[in-house]
Amino acid sequence: TVPGIKFGIAFCEASGPALVRYSGTDQKLIDLAVGNAEEIGAGHVFIIFLDGTFPINVLNRIKQVPEVCSIYCATANAVQVVIAETEKGRGILGVVDGISPKGVETETDIAERKSFLRKIGYKL
C-alpha cells in the first residue's frame, strides 16, 4: 500500500522443519528480522522491519491477512518481548513498547500530535 518501502520479514514455524522463514526487499532489514526471530524463538511468530514508511501505514493490510491472529505492536520504538518457556517451546506473553508517560498532553501537544498524524497520512 506504500510504494517504494523497504522491508524484511521473518516467520518462526511451529511444526515440521521448524525453520525461520524469511523474505523482503532489503537485506539489512531481512537480517534484522531473522536475527530477532531467532532470538525470540517462539513458534508461529512473525516480525517485520520497515524503512520508508510508518507502521500505521501498513498495519491494516497486515491485519487483513487471514493467517494473522494477533499483532502485539506496530511501533518505531525500542521494544522488549516478554517470553514464556515450557517443555513444549516458547511463546510470547506480551511486548513492552516504549517508555512510561511523563505527563498529560497540553493544548499545544494536541495540536502538534494532530499535525504530525496529518503529515504521515493518518487523519483524525
pLDDT of residue 87: 96
Scored b (16 or more CB within 10 A) or e, 6-42 reads bbbbbbbeeeeeeebebebebeebbebbbebbeebeb
Is the pTM higher than 0.95?
no
pLDDT mean by block of 10 residues, the chain; 124 residues: 89 96 98 98 96 90 94 93 96 95 96 89 70
Domain ranges of the chain: 6-119
- The CATH number corresponding to 6-119 among 3.10.50.30, 3.40.30.10, 3.40.50.740, 3.40.1520.10 equals 3.40.1520.10
